[in-house]
Amino acid sequence: MMSNIIIPPPAGRGGLRPVLTAQFFSAFGDNALLFATLALMKNNDYPAWSQPVLQMVFVVAYILLAPFVGQFADSFPKGRVMMVANGLKFIGAVLIGINVNPFIGYGLVGVGAAAYSPAKYGILGELMPEDQLIRGNGLMESSTIAAILLGSLSGGMLADWHVSTALLMCAVIYALAVLANIMIPGLPAARPAQYRHLRVMLEEFLTACRTLWQDSETRFSLIGTSLFWGAGVTLRFLLVLWVPVALGITDNTTPTLLNALVAIGIVGGALLAGRLITLKNTRRCFPAGILLGGVVIIFTLMHHMYTAGFWLIMAGVCGGVFVVPLNALLQVRGRASVGAGYAIAVQNLGENVAMLGMLAIYTLAVRLGAPPVATGCAFGGLFALGITLLWSWQWLKHRRQ
């Protein structure tokens, strides 16, 4: 089932620039759209607990499509796959902007994002040699985080001024992402599709899951990145409720600004990871993951904008050092065993199951009236404990070998 994987030679650096440009616009739109849609829901008096539910709709699209998007990414030139995915995001943003139910529009954006992710990471291995992949991932993460920074700020600030204008900007940005995708070189498909039946695609995906989870290196990468992104999306919504309680500020801009500070930290952490960690010593990232949980606890206890901002930057640095090497490790080993598209699709499934679980717990905590500060402390402590257990597990397995 998993044979006939074609590994095209690296295409050189010429195609990397349009990939990074497309990723910037796509991630910019994702983050601006989230905060613009949250502002729209706030204006329309949706309850507070419905905010994480919006993200859960997005995440469910990832989970349901996980068995199919990997083969889709490997069956066609990845630049074209990215173009189609960004087109779906554009349509979703337009639907929200013309007052279609925001959960429907944002769910369509989730479908586009699910198709986009395996292609955007899988294409790096087709453009760069293996010894440059951590650097390539660092550039990809830096482009993403810069987009998160500017997109979050733009979405929040424009929404404070005029929500419809913010939504229009998101649609325009997605259109620019589609144009950038057109500039990506026409690479050959890594694994031309031999089967179109959904049952066969599901069987191949399950085979890829077993292959990756049975490999100890890819298994710890999958668990680590899942914990990180599950924690990251929960922190984003925690900030929306934490800001009014801890800082006494009720606008839409401040939470987006604080999210942007996390993004700045991740840029620095991603670049630092490229200098300190290689594929041969990826376990060096674990202390950063444990520190991330502790930093979140410290941040949650702050009551001043500047000190809170500092600790959020530090949280981002720890997160970047932690997640970038794990992504590169999965791309290398996954590309050689099941294909890059399948590897990223399996990773997306794990990450989004973690997101869905953490968001569900967070939504329950909000509905039960748990204070944001206590919720943040519990969240940071559990994350640090989870990474500690993962590190201990890997250390014990290494000792036994």
DSSP for 334-372? HHHHT-HHHHHHHHHHHHHHHHHHHHHHHHHHHHTT--H
Classify residue 32 by its DSSP letter.
H
Q: What are phi and psi of 165, to 5 degrees?
A: -65, -40
Position 2 scores a pLDDT of 46
DSSP for 205-271? HHHHHHHHHHSHHHHHHHHHHHHHHHHHHHHHHHHHHHHHHHT---SSHHHHHHHHHHHHHHHHHHH
Q: How far is CA 252 from the centre of its chain?
A: 22
Position 130 scores a pLDDT of 65
Is-above-0.85 flag for pTM? no
Domain boundaries, the chain: 13-191+198-400
**Does residue 192 sit in helix, strand or coil?**
coil
Position 341 scores a pLDDT of 65
Position 248 scores a pLDDT of 86
State which fold the 13-191+198-400 domain adopts.
Growth Hormone; Chain: A; (1.20.1250)
Of 87, 71, 75, 67, the closest CA to residue 22 belongs to: 87
Classify residue 284 by its DSSP letter.
G
Q: What is the pLDDT along the chain (401 residues), one digit of tens a residue?
A: 444 444 444 444 456 788 888 999 999 999 899 889 988 998 888 887 888 888 888 888 888 887 877 777 777 778 888 899 999 999 999 999 998 899 999 999 999 998 887 787 777 777 776 667 767 777 887 788 788 778 888 888 898 888 989 999 999 999 999 999 888 877 766 666 555 677 777 888 888 888 888 887 788 888 888 888 888 888 888 888 888 888 888 887 888 888 888 878 887 888 888 778 777 777 778 888 899 999 999 999 998 889 999 999 999 999 988 888 888 788 777 777 777 667 777 887 888 888 889 888 888 888 888 888 888 899 899 889 988 888 887 777 666 66
Position 6 scores a pLDDT of 45
Of 255, 261, 257, the closest CA to residue 238 belongs to: 255
Q: Tokens 């069956």, residue?
A: 75
